[in-house]
Amino acid sequence: MAEPQMTPQLQQQVAQLQQMNQQLGATAQQRAQFDVMKAESEQALEALSGLADGAPVYRSVGALLVQDTKAAAEARLKDDVETLTLRVTRMQKQEGELKQQLVALQQKIQAALKAAGQA
């Protein structure tokens, strides 16, 4: 049995499917990076909580280490964790939407191929 010819519309849908797969991979990779950054910030925040209030705290600014107060460092880290949590949540939502779109497009392509095979 010969393979059915793909119409230009079907070819476009397959190309769109491939592009969406790449986008999903990039989104998942970016979410994973945000997860790692969030975990690092939470770990640093936990380490700070064990320090005395007057203990010297340093933060990296480019190639320099700059002294900071414990309170300022905690505030900065809490803000970072909050921001990263929002980003991770947004990326998860975006991943879910992309997965739904991918499934719908795959079904549409499969139905078109099946119909073309029966014609």
Question: Domain 8-118 is in which class?
Answer: mainly alpha
Question: Full-prediction pTM beyond 0.85?
Answer: no
Q: How far apart are the C-alpha atoms of 91 and 74, rounded to whole Å?
A: 25
Taking only the tens place, the pLDDT of each residue in 92-105 is: 999 999 999 999 99
Q: What is the CA radius of gyration of the chain?
A: 24
pLDDT for 100 equals: 97
Query: Which pLDDT tens digit goes with each residue over 49-79?
Result: 999 988 899 999 999 999 999 999 999 999 9
Inter-residue contact 20 to 98 (CB < 8 Å)? yes
Domain ranges of the chain: 8-118
